[in-house]
Amino acid sequence: MGADEFVTFLGRNQNAGIDGINMSPKNTNAPSRVKGANGDTIISSGGSFEMGFFSPGISKNRYMGIWYKETLPVKTVVWVANRKTPLTDISGELKLVRNPEILVLANGSGNIIWSTSTSRPAQGPVLVAQLLDSGNLVVRDTLTNDGNFLWQSFDYPSDTLLPGMKIGKDFETGLERYLSSWKSNDDPSPGDFTYHCDPSGYPQLVMRKGSVEQYRTGPWNGVRFSGVPNLRPNAIFKYGLAFNDKEAYYSYDLLNGSVISRVMLSLNGVVQRWTRPIGRSQGWVIYLTTPIDNCDTYALCGAYGTCNIGDSPQCRCLNKFAPKYSDAWADTDWSNGCVRKTPLACYNNGSDGFLKYSNVKLPDTRNSTFNVSMSLDECQKACSNNCSCMAYANLDIRDGGSGCLLWFGDLVDIRDFPEGAGQDGVLEGGRQIAVKRLSKTSRQGPVEFKNELICIAKLQHRNLVKLLGCCIQGEEKMLIYEYMPNKSLDSFIFVIYSITRKKTNFLADEMRSMFLDWPKRFHIINGIARGLLYLHQDSRLRIIHRDLKASNILLDSNMDPKISDFGLARCFAESETGANTNRVVGTYGYMSPEYAVDGLFSVKSDLWCDGAGNS
């Protein structure tokens, strides 16, 4: 066939369930084609994905796309071909051709509005276009069945990353795969935000608005990204970063066949990891979102500054550093960062030392170098012997640590993770857990720690968080709970604003709060009420929580609520319903008036807290 000849990309009506078809010069007169006017679609062999023409939202424009083949009211679109060049009517036809293009999308006048190309010519006489059950649209010839496709949609993502896809850079071909947000719910053309695997220095995931960096995950440490402590190994996902001479990329796969998953870059620049049980009418559930708070804002505290979301102010300088401009710092403008109080003595043959920082998001690695074979001691020596080296760390934290990561230039975008915050972990059997580690200065001392341990250990209810174990060694105190993937209720119902100089940053994801529709809210309210009824009436002990608020209501994968944090709880005999105390504890704004003023608390106090926190 000559270069100007083509064979038509064939399809069937969506009820046919066909995933593709072999194409050769002999079958160009086949009875059906993927035409917008006919409503033709192609369905993957396992029935997971469907491809055809669609109009997003209220738009009348038409696009060729791929979406989940499911019964939900709104299509979950994962890939769009003609993002920048929509069809303006129901015309349109997707065709498979030979060289130089592979796939072309033509309008009603026959003009090509979108096309693909391949770096190598087809070898066989028969071309095959197929929608795989992974959601990948591929084109191959019959002589290459080993996955060496002529073209695949996975190489050109839209706003969604599916299991098996990559975002990153191929150093041999120069191909860069990245996510780009939609412009609006009605317009899938590229929006303001992009999400990349940046291979500069040592690879990390980076989100940009235009060319300006907004957020980064921190470098991969062999287990997770240092800036995303909640994204740990679990029984659902397997994810990781690969980096070699040929390519650098991030990808993930599903370990649990009972769920489907996608990662989406939202309109307002939030990376959302969604999951959905297979075979259930339940909609999509957010498993994880990033960025999560103001401390995830790129370089919020400037050079040599570190952010802690629990502190006020949130930014402080590293030890031996001071604000570069103290007046601006006092006015909550931390962007200029910090400077050393005393210059390094390295250039004067001095003896500079190092300070260790733990439980932090590692600095930006674009000005770094690494060596996979060096030990930590060798890494320290290498940094000590180079006056331009500002910090060092293990490249991989597994098995006691290995490899060497060296930073040169200013240390930027560091954050502290609170010691008392819940941290994720995985038991040897693969069960994911949440670990609550109490700092030495925590207001929850030995009495409250013991109280929480005793209270929860005696309680068993579907709407109470389950305590799996504890650890006490010296001043270290840890509680081990069942893992709650949807975090706390406050992250869904409260809108968080951060006010800086003459600027308000909207940090909450609107889609996250919109996800909590009234049926889900009613389900959560019922669950909290059942948990309280058990605490107040049905358990062996009558328990008053005293600190019931949205942040202490955790949500599991099914959005079932679990009451947590029993450090301030009080246990009573069955006949008692309240008490008086001179030590008023809890969270102001959630306390009942009689408790806040007179120290009187009862089962009614918890009902007040629940109404104040979740109304």
Question: One-letter amino acid identity for 22?
Answer: N
Cis peptide before 313 (omega within 30 of 0): yes
The Cα 115–Cα 143 span in angstroms is: 23
Inter-residue contact 582 to 575 (CB < 8 Å): no
Strand 305-307 relative to strand 503-506, pairing: unpaired
The answer for residues whose C-beta is within 8 angstroms of residue 145's C-beta and 6 or more apart is: none
Extended beta strands in 428-549, E state: 432-438, 467-473, 476-482, 497-500, 503-506, 542-544
DSSP-H helix ranges across 258-332 = 326-330
- Cβ atoms of 116 and 140 closer than 8 Å: no
Helix (H) or strand (E) holding 545: none
Taking Cα atoms as reference points, which of 283, 286, 260, 282 lies closest to residue 271?
286
Q: How many helices and strands in the chain, by DSSP H and E? A: 8, 45
Rounded Cα–Cα distance for residues 537 and 372 (Å): 59
Active site includes 547?
A: yes
Residue in the block written with tokens 């608005």: 209
In the block, residue with structure tokens 């209720």: 489
- Euclidean distance between CA atoms 545 and 547, whole angstroms: 6
Distance CA 609, CA 607 (A): 5
Among the listed residues 141, 296, 547, 565, the single catalytic one is: 547
Count of residues making up the chain = 615
CA distances from 576 to 217, 259, 541, 604 (A): 51, 46, 10, 13
What backbone phi and psi angles, to 5 degrees, belong to 8? -80, 140
Token couple for 263: 């990662």
Q: Are strands 414-416 and 176-177 parallel, antiparallel or unpaired?
A: unpaired
Q: Residue 139: which of 77, 82, 96 has the closest Cα?
A: 96
What amino acid is encoded at 372 in this protein? V
Give backbone dihedrals phi and psi of 340, rounded to 5 degrees, phi first: -65, 140
DSSP state of 204: E
Q: What is the 3-state secondary structure (H, E, C) of 204-228?
A: EEEEEECCEEEEEEEEECCCCECCC
Q: What is the set of active-site residues? A: 547
